[in-house]
Amino acid sequence: MEISVATQNFMALGLPGRLAVFRMLMRLSPSGVRPTEIAKVLGLKQNTLSHYLSELEICGLIRHERHGRSLFYSVDLAKTAGLVSYLVDDCCRGRADLLSQSSVSKRSAQMEEPPYNVLFICSGNSARSIFAEAILNHIGFGKFRAFSAGTRPGSRLNDYALVILKRNDLETNGLRAKHISEFDAPNAPRMDFIFTVCDGAAAEECAPWPGQPITAHWGVPDPVKAIGTEAEKGLAFDEAFSELNRRIAAFSALTIERLDRAALQRSLDQIGISRP
């Protein structure tokens, strides 16, 4: 990377507002996000956000695609990887003492032996993440241990979500709504994978997880918010369950022990954006 390009990129990220936009897009990567959703989460005025997006796009760190009448912004992962590589390998000459030991060892390391701990996060932990926990504990028994949590306190399991699980012969005993803070405690299980299954949870700021688990965003529409007849609401729950079941089946089939972290990340991102 040319030093002039790197300088432009660093300058674009040098303003707190633009950095906040970039961080949010990275948390939702590789999915695209509408400007209205970015503005709502970050509390930005539309004209201010437009300026931030323009500056980040000019330097190549983000890009946009049009779908119908809507624009969706996402991080250009290749350009961002080039910037990180320039900072670490070029400017810093890859010095191991400037990086944490775990960062150095895991840049090309493979995963440890199973079972792997997996945490699914959504805002309420009432349906989608509960679906995912139950599905993976069934499909991936012996290879995975699944957990779920919500970012919103005081949640409870959705009654219809439990109906869907029982209809699909999945275990519901022991399922409960949990706050994400339970998994931040010193005695909490160390996670190998973390998936956000709603855009709201993915967009929220959170501290880095211990052990640097591999993360991905698998956004699924919230069936709890479905409107219409009882049949239409039921269909929304069925569709959310089916989509998560499809993704988790694909995840369970991965030969995790044979893939390095970069290959695993690409596979998980692809599962999150693929459509049946």
pLDDT tens-digit map of 108-157: 556 677 799 999 999 889 999 999 999 999 999 989 999 999 998 878 89
Secondary structure of residue 49 in the 3-state scheme: helix
Total residues belonging to the chain: 276
Contacts of 81 (CB under 8 A, 6+ apart): none
Task: State the Cα–Cα distance between residues 181 and 250, nearest whole angstrom.
Answer: 29
pLDDT value at residue 93: 74
CATH number 3.30.390.10 is the correct assignment for the domain at 3-99: no
- The CATH code that applies to domain 116-273 is 3.40.50.2300
Mean pLDDT over residues 31-50, rounded? 93
Domain boundaries, the chain: 3-99, 116-273
Q: pLDDT tens, 149-175?
A: 999 887 889 999 999 999 999 989 989
Please tell me the pTM assigned to this model: 0.81
Residue 102 clears pLDDT 60, i.e. is over it: no
Token pair for 247: 């993704």
Token pair for 100: 């944490």
- Paired strand residues for 116: 144
Mean pLDDT over residues 178-195, rounded? 91
Contacts of 227 (CB under 8 A, 6+ apart): 233
Mean pLDDT over residues 166-189, rounded? 91
Residue 94 clears pLDDT 60, i.e. is over it: yes
Q: pLDDT tens, 247-258?
A: 999 999 999 988
pLDDT value at residue 60: 93
Secondary structure of residue 206 in the 3-state scheme: coil
Q: How many other C-beta atoms lie within 10 A of the C-beta of residue 113?
A: 7
